[in-house]
């Protein structure tokens, strides 16, 4: 911390003390009777002209001062609340000498409550003519450059409060995220789904392959994992007869961090009894179209250099059909481990340890780059889908799809395996894999097998990475730009 910053803070602190001495002590203020917000005021008076003089009613607005333009015996300022910006105009002859002297002790960043009426300034801007003001909080720390704002990405993440306070686009992204998730909940509730909450702390983190975070419960002297999926508990709810359930919850995976991965992220998981994956696909399409409409009425979503159309119907293509179309690769080649390995070599990709891994690599290389518009890729190979049901007439293929857009996987859904014997065998196979040293394979959850033995109806399930969906809908390149407080390494102060 440099001397100069301390000087800046000291100057603001001395302004605060002078304001307190003049009867403007923000610490003595417990409430402010806000009766309007900036954008609403501007909208209400859009047709207001200079000839209209001073408008009605008397407004009381509160927010943060982000610009102060003193001009002798007057002051223009910008007050920002959660809806936007409102210009203020303060005059000495109106406020009186004492109050006007006090407002000269205001600093950029201070929170202010103001009383006043609207007028149109000489330059045509709707402006609040302030008759009284109340200091609600003092900003002791100086705010970043008013023109360039806070640009340093590291500081934006570490001090997100500053980022939010002065970068309107950033605040808009998080407001939009909130509206998207709220709209998603309404959509699901309207479709007769129950929102449920399942444990975050588990003895066995299952339902996916990922390294969990470990923690400990003192009261039970018990080692616990943070969940890596909500899948198994949600299916227990289906066994219990809730029929349609979802959870929008935080998931924790102790893995890498990059522009598309954060150690904690939010996932929607949703299960519907009596649906197959094909009903789920229609529902998925309707949900995403609905959310896109919230962002852009025409469902045309700009992302980077492109514009993505979320108008239904979305493109649908078979898994093998996609390989055939984009790489002239045959189903037979893909389904044989040797054929897949040969394809890897032809594309200059390092050999894969397993057939499934090879197929994943090949898909990323050959097909994914072509999936720009929202596209359902259907009918996955069984080897890629250990928890999905087979197609009745095609034992190598399962009832599963993934939804892609701009090369990102947005959703993964399948008809759920509900055969307890099959589930038990797959857990036993996982025990083998663990014994061979694959630490990402979860320990078996035998109670889940018991739950299936009580009977689970045919059910479709889907997982949607909320952060990535929000990235796409809000046109953000990094997952950290849709997570308020992304994990950062500590830095010495």
Partner RNA sequence: GCGCCUUUAGCUCAGUCGGUAGAGCAUCGGACUUUUAAUCCGUUGGUCCCGGGUUCGAGUCCCGGAGGGCGCACCA
Residues between 343 and 362 that touch RNA (CB under 7 A) = 357, 360-361
Question: How many angstroms separate the CA atoms of 387 and 384, rounded?
Answer: 9
Q: CB of 419: closest distance to RNA in angstroms? A: 22
Q: CB of 10: closest distance to RNA in angstroms? A: 8
Choosing from 59, 111, 119, 303, the residue that interacts with RNA (CB under 7 A) is 119
Question: How many angstroms separate the CA atoms of 339 and 324, rounded?
Answer: 14
Choosing from 35, 49, 121, 178, the residue that interacts with RNA (CB under 7 A) is 121
Choosing from 113, 212, 374, 465, the residue that interacts with RNA (CB under 7 A) is 465
Secondary element (H or E) of residue 323: helix 319-327
- In contact, 225 and 203? CB cutoff 8 Å: yes
107 binds RNA (CB under 7 A): yes
Question: How many angstroms separate the CA atoms of 145 and 138, rounded?
Answer: 18
179 binds RNA (CB under 7 A): no
| Among the residue ranges 119-127, 186-194, 218-226, 268-276, the one whose residues contact RNA (CB under 7 A) | 119-127
Sign of CA dihedral 114, 118, 121, 123: positive
Residues between 194 and 213 that touch RNA (CB under 7 A) = 208-210
| Among the residue ranges 122-130, 170-178, 218-226, 340-348, the one whose residues contact RNA (CB under 7 A) | 122-130
Question: How many angstroms separate the CA atoms of 429 and 158, rounded?
Answer: 44
DSSP sequence for 112-178 = EEEEEEEEE-TTS-EEEEEEEEEEEE---SPPP-TTT----HHHHHHTHHHHHHH-HHHHHHHHHHH
Residues between 5 and 24 that touch RNA (CB under 7 A) = 5, 7-8, 11-12, 15
Q: CB of 308: closest distance to RNA in angstroms? A: 17
* Interior angle at CA 188, CA 185 and CA 194, nearest 5: 95
124 binds RNA (CB under 7 A): yes
Nearer to RNA, 136 or 471 (CB): 471
Q: CB of 167: closest distance to RNA in angstroms? A: 11
Q: How many CB atoms lie within 10 A of CB 66?
A: 19
Residues between 77 and 96 that touch RNA (CB under 7 A) = 78, 87, 89, 91-93
Choosing from 17, 52, 145, 195, the residue that interacts with RNA (CB under 7 A) is 145
* HSE of 183, CA atoms in CB hemisphere, 13 A: 18
Nearer to RNA, 300 or 488 (CB): 488
448 binds RNA (CB under 7 A): no
259 binds RNA (CB under 7 A): yes
| Among the residue ranges 118-126, 188-196, 234-242, 288-296, the one whose residues contact RNA (CB under 7 A) | 118-126
98 binds RNA (CB under 7 A): no
Nearer to RNA, 262 or 430 (CB): 262
Phi/psi for 358 (5° steps) reads -60, -40
Choosing from 151, 217, 345, 431, the residue that interacts with RNA (CB under 7 A) is 151
Buried/exposed 393-421: b ≥16 CB within 10 Å, e otherwise = eeeebbbbbbbbbbebbbbbbbbbbbebe
426 binds RNA (CB under 7 A): no
474 binds RNA (CB under 7 A): no
Number of residues that bind RNA (CB under 7 A): 77
333 binds RNA (CB under 7 A): no
Q: What is the per-residue binding string for RNA in 61-80, x denoting contact by CB under 7 A?
A: ------xxxxxxxx-x-x--
Q: CB of 412: closest distance to RNA in angstroms? A: 6
* Interior angle at CA 106, CA 102 and CA 111, nearest 5: 115
480 binds RNA (CB under 7 A): yes
Q: CB of 303: closest distance to RNA in angstroms? A: 14
Q: Where are the alpha helices (DSSP H) in 53-91?
A: none
479 binds RNA (CB under 7 A): yes
Q: CB of 450: closest distance to RNA in angstroms? A: 25
- In contact, 47 and 149? CB cutoff 8 Å: no
Choosing from 17, 52, 152, 195, the residue that interacts with RNA (CB under 7 A) is 152
Residues between 153 and 172 that touch RNA (CB under 7 A) = 153-155, 157
3 binds RNA (CB under 7 A): yes
Residues between 213 and 252 that touch RNA (CB under 7 A) = none
Q: How many CB atoms lie within 10 A of CB 359?
A: 23
Nearer to RNA, 71 or 393 (CB): 71
DSSP sequence for 96-114 = -HHHHHHHTT--TT-EEEE
**Which one-letter DSSP state was computed for residue 230?**
S
Give yes or no for a cis peptide into 313 (omega within 30° of 0): yes
4 binds RNA (CB under 7 A): yes
Choosing from 28, 30, 47, 147, the residue that interacts with RNA (CB under 7 A) is 147
Find residue 90's DSSP bridge partners.
75
144 binds RNA (CB under 7 A): yes
**Which one-letter DSSP state was computed for residue 441?**
S
Q: How many CB atoms lie within 10 A of CB 429?
A: 13
409 binds RNA (CB under 7 A): yes
- In contact, 87 and 69? CB cutoff 8 Å: no
Q: CB of 74: closest distance to RNA in angstroms? A: 4
């Amino acid at each position: 911390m440099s001397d100069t910053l301390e000087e800046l803070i000291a100057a603001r602190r001395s302004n605060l003390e002078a304001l307190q001495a003049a009867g403007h002590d923000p610490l003595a203020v417990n409430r402010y009777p806000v009766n309007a917000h900036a954008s609403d005021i501007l909208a209400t008076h859009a047709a207001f002209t200079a000839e209209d003089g001073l408008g009605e009613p008397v407004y009381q607005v509160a927010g943060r001062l982000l610009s102060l333009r003193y001009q002798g015996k007057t002051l223009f300022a910008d007050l920002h609340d959660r809806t936007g910006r409102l210009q203020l105009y303060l005059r000495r002859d109106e406020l009186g000498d004492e109050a006007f002297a006090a407002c000269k002790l205001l600093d950029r960043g201070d929170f202010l409550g103001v009383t006043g009426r609207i007028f149109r300034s000489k330059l045509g801007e709707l402006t609040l003519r302030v008759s009284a003001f109340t200091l609600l909080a003092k900003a002791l720390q100086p705010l970043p450059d008013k023109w360039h704002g806070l640009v340093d990405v590291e500081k934006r993440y570490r001090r997100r409060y500053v980022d939010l306070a002065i970068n309107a686009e950033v605040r808009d992204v998080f407001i939009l995220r909130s509206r998207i998730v709220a709209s998603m909940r309404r959509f699901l509730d309207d479709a007769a789904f129950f929102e449920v909450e399942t444990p975050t702390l588990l003895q066995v983190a299952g339902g996916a392959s990922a390294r969990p975070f470990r923690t400990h419960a003192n009261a039970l002297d018990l080692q616990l994992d943070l969940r890596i999926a909500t899948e198994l508990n949600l299916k227990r709810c289906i066994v219990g007869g809730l029929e349609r359930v979802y959870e929008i919850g935080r998931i924790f995976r102790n893995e890498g961090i990059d522009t598309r991965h954060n150690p904690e992220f939010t996932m929607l998981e949703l299960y519907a009894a009596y649906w197959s994956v094909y009903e789920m696909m229609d529902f998925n399409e309707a949900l995403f179209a609905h959310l896109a409409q919230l962002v852009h009425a025409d469902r045309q979503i700009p992302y980077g250099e492109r514009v993505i159309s979320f108008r239904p119907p979305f493109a649908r293509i078979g898994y093998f059909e996609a390989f055939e179309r984009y790489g002239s690769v045959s189903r037979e080649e893909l389904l044989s481990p040797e054929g897949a390995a040969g394809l890897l070599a032809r594309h200059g990709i390092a050999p894969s340890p397993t057939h499934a891994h090879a197929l994943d690599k090949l898909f990323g290389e050959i097909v994914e780059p072509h999936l720009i518009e929202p596209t359902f890729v259907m009918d996955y190979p069984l080897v890629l889908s250990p928890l999905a049901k087979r197609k009745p007439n095609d034992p190598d293929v399962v009832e599963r799809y993934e939804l892609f857009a701009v090369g990102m996987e947005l959703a993964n859904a399948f008809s759920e395996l509900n055969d307890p014997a099959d589930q038990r065998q797959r857990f036993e196979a996982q025990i083998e894999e663990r014994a061979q040293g694959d630490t990402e394979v979860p320990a078996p959850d035998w109670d889940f097998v018991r739950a299936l033995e009580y009977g689970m109806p045919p059910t479709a399930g889907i997982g949607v990475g909320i952060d990535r969906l929000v990235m796409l809908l809000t046109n953000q390149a990094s997952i950290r730009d849709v997570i308020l407080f992304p994990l950062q390494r500590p830095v010495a102060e």
